[in-house]
Structure 1
């Protein structure tokens, strides 16, 4: 489906990189916008100071819960009311609402008011985008599958070779990511031939204290609890023989695709979505373990990955941005057409 004439204006509910020029914490969204054809899609970033007064065809949400949260309850209430008003404005102006579903549910539970506003957003959604076919939405007929693209267009491919025995877990450290269980399991291995490195900024001070306590005194565990820039992160991944991501309830994982993009095998818990990832890329690249992570299951997983034969570079052509961006453009065009025809 291609469009001729005036490009559709899409407002991306994401931080504007020109206004927030610091390190990009999630390159996925930057790659989404970067790869859209400007002849088809005119991209703008969400700004509260403009969205009530400017005309747009589509608004695209990724993590709408961030639109309603603040550490101060009064400001959280104001944000909820603003989002509700914006949803009403989109409906009145017949602007399409597109949602990409990244998680089954938000990582942290919100307030009752947030749930009410989020439910209103669900009802206003014109088209849902899912990153894997196991994701369930409220309307299967208006759900489109557009997989998560690789990161090879963002990160420089590493030149370093992997250090035999180095195991890595990385990313923002939240309790659901299971890093504490990984540290405990790794300490039980008590192997001088393998060591674990934990990289990533903790989401809370409690997460930081928990990880420091678990790693204290372990000669085979090192932690670097800060945000790593792109060069630092790719070096750590390149130096590692295997990446372990022991997330609880894993559904979509940008970290898994980043490791694979840099040609490093991953160990992840079995779930409906990781089974599909293993089928797509092969068990030697995506190794699954069952049940809670234990020293036994970790040892078995590491032995399998270290002993497996793999090509030097993983074929990730199925995740090329060129065709994924065209699919997203088609989804935008479809959403705009649905609204114009009276369907939401």
Structure 2
């Protein structure tokens, strides 16, 4: 999908680093999907403050203001304030993707004030599911893309009966402790839990390591997992389990579906929409806390009820997503995007 030849060209600065081996594939696929009319620039504070660009596209804005050290955090906050002032004075439009309704871990009032300032300067919001509440002045719905093409080159093994997988950055809100408790309370000797990902805190690492030592059915790879390893781990699983305490958008859920593995996750409006979109048997939802009864029932339904060979992810193709983003940038710049479709 390409715009008309006479469509405006533009420079878009993303609030993210240049793509590398550990970059979220969502971002890398978005960069690649944008039409040739968009020149992509990657973030540094020097570039943001001193160079020319037409649009700033912000993802996860809290990371513009955070640093492991206290002094580094205050320095980044000061630079973020300068950037916001520059954007305001130059009237540079901001496009913001709503990955979360709010940051998962709050960092205090100063960060909240800076985020509020950024919100007021945002000219166009991008929600990646249709149930996120729209925000003024304008909100565009551009669904989160699939990962099918990203993992197409990796071999995928057959699933193993009883093998559960929890993967991704291991953060407190993702409920890995609950999942461990449920597995340990389930006497099924066939059940195995595999945990893959980098713990966000020493306490999270200690929790998972203690579970592995206490129950031989639980194992873990507590480090960054490359794409080939991740494709293998997802492929081996019978069920991916995501017992998040907060779940609005989840690239992890879509990644599992892209590799044709069913997912167990808490009910939310957004998860229910995905379940309906992809077809029956792929996204299994529960209300309240995850329990061993929920887990056993889900596994029984997986084994007893047939499902299509693959979930329907046709609405999430990247060429379409790239063009939709280009149209959002046009609108943010005051152009009529329909004139260049």
Which position in structure 2 is the counterpart of 1:30?
A: 28
Alpha-carbon contact 2:182-2:290 (below 8 Å) kept: yes
- How far apart are the structure 2 equivalents of 1:267 and 1:48? 40
Alpha-carbon contact 1:100-1:129 (below 8 Å) kept: yes
Residue 17 of structure 2: which of 6, 15, 18 is its match? 15
Which position in structure 2 is the counterpart of 1:189?
A: 186
Count of matched residue pairs:
333
Residue 105 of structure 1 deviates from its aligned partner by: 1.3
Alpha-carbon contact 1:62-1:102 (below 8 Å) kept: yes
Give the 3-state SS of the residue equivalent to 1:228 in structure 2: coil
Task: Give ranges in structure 1 of 5+ residues lacking alignment.
Answer: 340-344
Residue 101 of structure 1: which of 82, 88, 98 is its match? 98
Residue 282 of structure 1 deviates from its aligned partner by: 2.4
Structure 1 residues 103-252: aligned runs within 5 Å: 103-139=100-136, 141-156=137-152, 158-252=155-249
Alpha-carbon contact 2:3-2:35 (below 8 Å) kept: no
- How far apart are the structure 2 equivalents of 1:300 and 1:331? 43
Alpha-carbon contact 2:280-2:307 (below 8 Å) kept: no
Task: Give ranges in structure 2 of 5+ residues lacking alignment.
Answer: 337-341
Residue 95 of structure 1 deviates from its aligned partner by: 1.3
Residue 29 of structure 1 deviates from its aligned partner by: 0.7
Which position in structure 2 is the counterpart of 1:69?
A: 66
Give the 3-state SS of the residue equivalent to 2:120 in structure 1: helix
Residue 269 of structure 2: which of 267, 272, 279 is its match? 272
Which position in structure 1 is the counterpart of 2:80?
A: 83
Residue 285 of structure 1 deviates from its aligned partner by: 0.5
- How far apart are the structure 1 equivalents of 2:86 and 2:12? 15
Residue 221 of structure 1 deviates from its aligned partner by: 1.4
- How far apart are the structure 2 equivalents of 1:221 and 1:74? 40
Higher mean alpha-carbon deviation, 222-231 vs 148-157, is at 148-157
Residue 296 of structure 1 deviates from its aligned partner by: 1.1
**Deviation sequence 1:265-323 (CA, Å, 0-9, x none):** 11111011111111111230011111101111111122222322122232311111111
Give the 3-state SS of the residue equivalent to 1:169 in structure 2: strand
